[in-house]
Amino acid sequence: MTIERIPEVSQYPEEVEVPPQLFQQGIRAVEREFKTPVMDDHGQPMVVSPAMQKISITLPAAQGQLLAWAKGPISDSLTWFAAFWLRMIKKAVYFGWNLISGGGN
């Protein structure tokens, strides 16, 4: 018994190919990522992609306080609140977002 291997596809085409019969009917491929920013009449960008915007997160308390709250009982909502914000801190560090210490006792 031999198992036939299917070759893996390592790259996908950059552009979607529209068949000629659809092209004749007026169907065109839509560009998903814009190369240059699209501006409105006032010069403001109409579409803001994640690469263009800078994300900032304001923490509700100091990180040490969040760590203490996260060690509370599982039935307490404050424990889950702190766990959520600790996950957001890890996500912000990973993606390079701006962290702002809003709280802190």
The residues with which 100 forms a beta bridge, in sequence order, are 58
Is the predicted pLDDT of residue 6 greater than 70, yes or no? yes
Q: Are 28 and 18 in contact (CB under 8 A)?
A: yes
The per-residue pLDDT for 95 is: 84
In this predicted model, which residue has the larger pLDDT, 2 or 86?
Answer: 86
Q: Is residue 17 classed as helix, strand or coil in its secondary structure?
A: coil
Write out 19-50 in H/E/C secondary structure: CHHHHHCCCCCCCCCCCCCCECCCCCECCCCC
Q: What is the pLDDT of residue 85?
A: 94
Give 54-93 pLDDT, tens digit per residue: 788 888 988 899 999 999 999 999 999 999 999 999 999 9
pLDDT at 13: 61
What is the spatial distance between Cα 60 and Cα 85, in angstroms, rounded to a whole number?
8
DSSP code at position 60: S
Where does the pLDDT of residue 51 fall: very low under 50, low under 70, confident under 90, or very high at 90 and above?
Answer: low
Q: Which helix (H) or strand (E) holds 64?
A: helix 63-70
For 48, counting Cβ atoms within 10 Å of its Cβ (0-12 exposed, 13-18 middle, 19+ buried), the class is exposed
Looking at the predicted structure, is the pLDDT value of residue 102 above 80?
no
